[in-house]
Amino acid sequence: MFRFITQKIGNKLLLTFIVILVVVMFIEISFRIYFGLPDRLKIADESNKEIMDTIFATIKHPLTVGDSETIHRDLEEIASKYTKINVYLCDFNKQIAFSTDNNSINKKIDTVIDNKIFSEIITEHLAGNSEASISKVLKVQGKRNLISILPIKNSPECFHCHGSSKNILGAMILKTDVENVYLTVQAQMYRSLTLTVFAFLLAIVVINFVVNRLIKKPLHILIEATERFSKGEMSTISNYPKDEIGTLCETFNCMVNEVAKSKMELEKELTRRARLLEEREELVALLQKANQQLKELDILKSSFIANMSHELRTPMNAIIGYTDLLLDEVDGPLNEEQKASLKKVAANARHLLQLINDVLDISKIESGKIEIRPKEVYLKELIYEIIVTFEPLLTKKGLTFSLNIEPGAEKLYIDEDKAKQIFINLISNAVKFTNQGGITLKARVSERGKDSEGNPQFVEISVSDTGIGIKREDLDKIFDKFAQADVSTTRQYEGTGLGLSIVRGLVALHKGMVWAESEYGKGSTFYLLLPFKKEVFERPGPVTEEKMAEVLAQYFEVPKEVFLQNPTYEGKLVRCWDYTQCGHVNCPEYGSSEKRCWLALGTHCKGMKICSYPEKTDSCRICEVVRDLVLHQEPAIKEVSESSNKEKVVLAIDDNPDAIDLIRKYLEKDYKVIGILNSEEAAKKAKELKPVAITLDIMMPKKDGWQVLKELKSDKETQNIPVVIVSIIDNKTLAFSLGAADYFVKPLDGHSLLKKIKSIETYRAVKKVFILEKDETTVKDLLNVLKQTGYDVSSTSNSKEAIEIAKNYKPDLLIVNITDPDTSAYDFIDFIKTSVELKDIPMIALTDKELTDEQKDVLNGRIKEIINKSLFSEEQLITELKNSLKKIGGIS
């Protein structure tokens, strides 16, 4: 009820009005009663008095003279004039002498006006105790009457009859019926109440109408609109009044418009973002695919390099060898001209060899195939070792060589072979371009590349010459491939143009740097930074340099501590921060303004190269690649569990060793991958190794994958081994028709491959075999074969013993000859099948003759395979047994 009121504003207003109305009415009625009645009584009283005075004046004289007739007449006159008024004249004995009511004459006044109070008052008056006239409302015969008493005093003119002893001779009593005065007041009160109720009802109706019209209706519109709005409908309010609620509606409309506008914008933005996300995902997928292809290409490239190396060097062997033999005059003397020509052949062949070596070197550096094995190396000894080979040339050109190693720079921590290559390149360049003067090699502890505590880690080595020098504009180019400063110098000064590129690559591998200063025409100096601290190479996964961590943190919007302390990002191991400086003088690590990424060289992310060589890439792009390719890869932390699964062999047939390597990497957690490069050996190997699965390439020299597959599937021994094709060509139809288990098109998705192999490989290892067989030759043969294949074998010829052995030995497979003269073999089988521990062990039955139907019935359900020895030769028997083993092994 109260809720009904409190929840509706109209009801609240109504209630307030009603309360006010009730209060006002109550006050009005109270006033009417409080003030209205006395007023009216007063009027009646006054008219009584007036009448009394009039009557008294009229009858005074007759009274005095005793003219009763006149008095009666006068009173009758009054009675006819005032119907509601009774006048009584009584003497001091209360006896009524005259009256307008003739019936009451001679009666006692207090019997006529039967009221206790009145009789007291009249007694008092007539006793002469009170002379004043008095008026009082008294109830007489159930009716209210205004009774006025006027004592009639004794006066001289009355003495002649009444004497002077009495003060009061009698009293005139006027009885006026005032019942109707009360009734009038009551009637008025009722009228007021009726009015109140009427006003009340009117007020309800009017207020309700007003509230409805002015407040409720507009409010309801507003509420409806708000509800619609809350449901997401963006409709405005069209009809609204011009008052405060109207203002509210207007405001609401404004709000709706604003919200609708921003909602629309938001939706637009959302669509835009979704599109961006899609595009980004596409891009990531594309990049991932590209990355995969790059990996494949990388493998191809490295195998190409290896092959190139071999293929180019083989003919060089013959060219140089035979030329030298001729020059040595093994086949007889040569004339000078022939000799000179042959020397040119030899020199050019050697140059070609150098070129080949350099190209291979640079390829290896670029593809990240070079590893360095740093150790402590004494610089002085290293330089002496090198300079010996240059001595003849130095002497010939009349050049000096001086070495100046400052304290602290004696020992380096470098790869000796690579360092030699670096110094040979630099010194040979110096010697080559210097015709007079000399070459100086200086070494001192460098101020550059200090560790986080400010301790130096690098030695700065300079190789200066007094040669032709390098033009300023060429200084930056000289480290690029095939860039001798001046094209003309290539002719003049023989060289491959790769030397300095190799130097830069090798120095970078040492996390150092190389740069050159030169004054054209006066000489050049090449500076190197090489480490002398082991720690340079022991950089942990995360970045340890503040500056780099800052750059990365800024890019990934994470605190730099992430990269300084913890090598993970979003739960993924970030390994790519094992970086080196690019080895270029403009590396930002050393405060250069040129944007050249120092993440580049040797940057591997989970084995993936971001960039293999300090190319001119700015850091941002690399970071982007890092983010998309590296950070989106699955968690790098994997448990390396050494399980028995390792025993499972997967045979990978591919003419490319690196492709096999890749498959091995994908599967090595669960399988031992044995690779075969020569497809002709595939079938043989498959028989030998009994792999759980085979991966097979198609494009192979000599024998292609299709032939291998046909061969595998036509041989009883290998036909059950699942073969997964992994090839660059896509011909699934042919593959499946030939019996392949699955087909993967390169680039290979390692995860899918592993998953596939796992699903098709249901090999359950049979390791222990128990044989019950009386024929010694068969036992011997079986033992031989099974032990060779790697099974643990136990045997007996006694059925009773067999039970005991089987219980203790717990074999994975039983081979039982059931053609015993007695039926003990059947007893053994029955025992096995009732034993809780042994009943699930598969059994192969050997027989010497065809089984009877009865025997077959007995064995039915207990034996996996029955082999009739008499049907096979010894060799065939073994093959048959192997097949059975394989079937039981579970290969589907």
Partner 1 sequence: MKRILIVDDNDDSRELVKKILKKYDYEIIEAIDGEDAIAKAVTYRPDLILMDISIPKIDGYEVTRRLKARPDFKTISIIAFTAHAMRGDQEKAFASGCDGYISKPINVREFPEQIKVYLKEK
Supply 284's token pair.
Answer: 């990531």
Q: Which stretch binds partner 1 (CB under 8 A): 320-328, 434-442, 476-484, 847-855?
A: 320-328
Q: Which stretch binds partner 1 (CB under 8 A): 6-14, 227-235, 271-279, 369-377?
A: 369-377
| CA nearest neighbour of 741 among 715, 772, 720, 769 | 720
x-marked contacts with partner 1 along 188-207 as a string, rule CB under 8 A: --------------------
Among 192, 309, 617, 883, binds partner 1 (CB under 8 A): 309
Question: Residue 348, interface with partner 1 (CB under 8 A)?
Answer: no
Question: Residue 688, interface with partner 1 (CB under 8 A)?
Answer: no
CB-based contacts of 685, cutoff 8 Å, min separation 6: 651, 674, 676
Question: Residue 324, interface with partner 1 (CB under 8 A)?
Answer: yes
Supply 617's token pair.
Answer: 């890439």
Q: Which stretch binds partner 1 (CB under 8 A): 109-117, 319-327, 579-587, 764-772?
A: 319-327
CB-based contacts of 379, cutoff 8 Å, min separation 6: 405, 409, 410, 411, 412, 443, 459, 461
Backbone angles phi, psi at 794, to 5 degrees: -135, 150
What is the β-pairing status of strands 134-140 and 458-465? unpaired
Question: Residue 371, interface with partner 1 (CB under 8 A)?
Answer: yes
Q: Which is nearer to partner 1, 3 or 310 (CB)?
A: 310
Among 325, 340, 765, 871, binds partner 1 (CB under 8 A): 325
| CA nearest neighbour of 125 among 155, 157, 90, 98 | 90
Among 41, 85, 370, 608, binds partner 1 (CB under 8 A): 370
Q: Which is nearer to partner 1, 245 or 334 (CB)?
A: 334
Residues 607 and 575: their CA atoms lie apart, in Å, by 9
Amino acid at 642: E
Question: Residue 314, interface with partner 1 (CB under 8 A)?
Answer: yes
Residues 754 and 671: their CA atoms lie apart, in Å, by 9
Please give the residues from 586 up to 615 whose contact with partner 1 meets the rule CB under 8 A: none
Reported for 294-299, long-range contacts at CB under 8 A and 24+ positions apart, including other chains, are: 295/608, 295/662, 295/747, 296/746, 296/747, 296/748, 298/367, 298/609, 299/656, 299/658, 299/659, 299/661, 299/662
Among 25, 245, 306, 851, binds partner 1 (CB under 8 A): 306
Tokens 């053609």 locate to 819
Residues 195 and 199: their CA atoms lie apart, in Å, by 6
Name the H helices within 444-545: 487-492, 499-509
Question: Residue 310, interface with partner 1 (CB under 8 A)?
Answer: yes
Q: Which stretch binds partner 1 (CB under 8 A): 3-11, 309-317, 802-810, 883-891?
A: 309-317
Q: Which is nearer to partner 1, 656 or 855 (CB)?
A: 656
Contact (CB, 8 A) for 133 and 46: no
Among 84, 277, 285, 321, binds partner 1 (CB under 8 A): 321
Residues in the chain: 892
What is the β-pairing status of strands 513-519 and 438-445? unpaired
User: Smallest distance, Å, CB 703 to partner 1?
Assistant: 13
Residues 488 and 731: their CA atoms lie apart, in Å, by 54
- Angle at CA 65, nearest 5°, toward 60 and 69? 85
Q: How far from 160 is each of 69, 134, 169, 861, CA to CA, in Å?
A: 20, 28, 13, 167
Question: Residue 319, interface with partner 1 (CB under 8 A)?
Answer: yes
Contact (CB, 8 A) for 96 and 108: yes
User: Smallest distance, Å, CB 706 to partner 1?
Assistant: 22
User: Smallest distance, Å, CB 334 to partner 1?
Assistant: 15
Q: Is residue 35 classed as helix, strand or coil in its secondary structure?
A: helix
Omega within 30 of 0 (cis) for the link into 747: yes
| CA nearest neighbour of 590 among 529, 524, 532 | 529
Question: Residue 322, interface with partner 1 (CB under 8 A)?
Answer: yes
Q: Which is nearer to partner 1, 28 or 324 (CB)?
A: 324
User: Smallest distance, Å, CB 680 to partner 1?
Assistant: 9
Please give the residues from 121 up to 140 whose contact with partner 1 meets the rule CB under 8 A: none
Among 34, 116, 230, 328, binds partner 1 (CB under 8 A): 328
x-marked contacts with partner 1 along 668-687 as a string, rule CB under 8 A: ----------x---------
Please give the residues from 219 up to 258 whose contact with partner 1 meets the rule CB under 8 A: none
Question: Residue 357, interface with partner 1 (CB under 8 A)?
Answer: yes
Among 107, 228, 313, 713, binds partner 1 (CB under 8 A): 313
Work out the number of other CB atoms within 10 angstroms of the CB of residue 525. 17
Among 204, 214, 294, 353, binds partner 1 (CB under 8 A): 353
x-marked contacts with partner 1 along 622-661 as a string, rule CB under 8 A: ----------------------------------------
Amino acid at 691: P
Question: Residue 851, interface with partner 1 (CB under 8 A)?
Answer: no
Total of residues contacting partner 1 (CB under 8 A): 28
Q: Which is nearer to partner 1, 659 or 772 (CB)?
A: 659
Question: Residue 318, interface with partner 1 (CB under 8 A)?
Answer: yes
Supply 10's token pair.
Answer: 């109209």
Question: Residue 871, interface with partner 1 (CB under 8 A)?
Answer: no
Question: Residue 214, interface with partner 1 (CB under 8 A)?
Answer: no
The strand ranges marked E within 666-766 are 672-676, 693-696, 723-727, 742-745
Contact (CB, 8 A) for 656 and 705: no
User: Smallest distance, Å, CB 497 to partner 1?
Assistant: 21
The strand ranges marked E within 129-180 are 134-140, 143-153, 168-177
Q: Which stretch binds partner 1 (CB under 8 A): 141-149, 292-300, 308-316, 487-495?
A: 308-316
Question: Residue 729, interface with partner 1 (CB under 8 A)?
Answer: no
User: Smallest distance, Å, CB 860 to partner 1?
Assistant: 50
Contact (CB, 8 A) for 17 and 5: no
Question: Residue 342, interface with partner 1 (CB under 8 A)?
Answer: no
Supply 13's token pair.
Answer: 């207003």
DSSP H or E stretch at residue 443: strand 438-445
Q: Which is nearer to partner 1, 328 or 473 (CB)?
A: 328
Q: Which is nearer to partner 1, 311 or 850 (CB)?
A: 311
Q: Which stretch binds partner 1 (CB under 8 A): 95-103, 304-312, 374-382, 385-393?
A: 304-312
Question: Residue 347, interface with partner 1 (CB under 8 A)?
Answer: no
Amino acid at 395: T
Question: Residue 301, interface with partner 1 (CB under 8 A)?
Answer: no
Residues 28 and 123: their CA atoms lie apart, in Å, by 42
Q: Which stretch binds partner 1 (CB under 8 A): 7-15, 314-322, 335-343, 734-742?
A: 314-322
Q: Which is nearer to partner 1, 319 or 382 (CB)?
A: 319
Q: Which is nearer to partner 1, 327 or 445 (CB)?
A: 327
Q: Which stretch binds partner 1 (CB under 8 A): 69-77, 365-373, 499-507, 665-673?
A: 365-373
| CA nearest neighbour of 818 among 785, 842, 793, 843 | 843
User: Smallest distance, Å, CB 417 to partner 1?
Assistant: 8
Which residue ranges make up the site for partner 1 (CB under 8 A)? Answer: 305-306, 309-322, 324-325, 328, 330, 353, 357, 360, 364, 369-371, 678
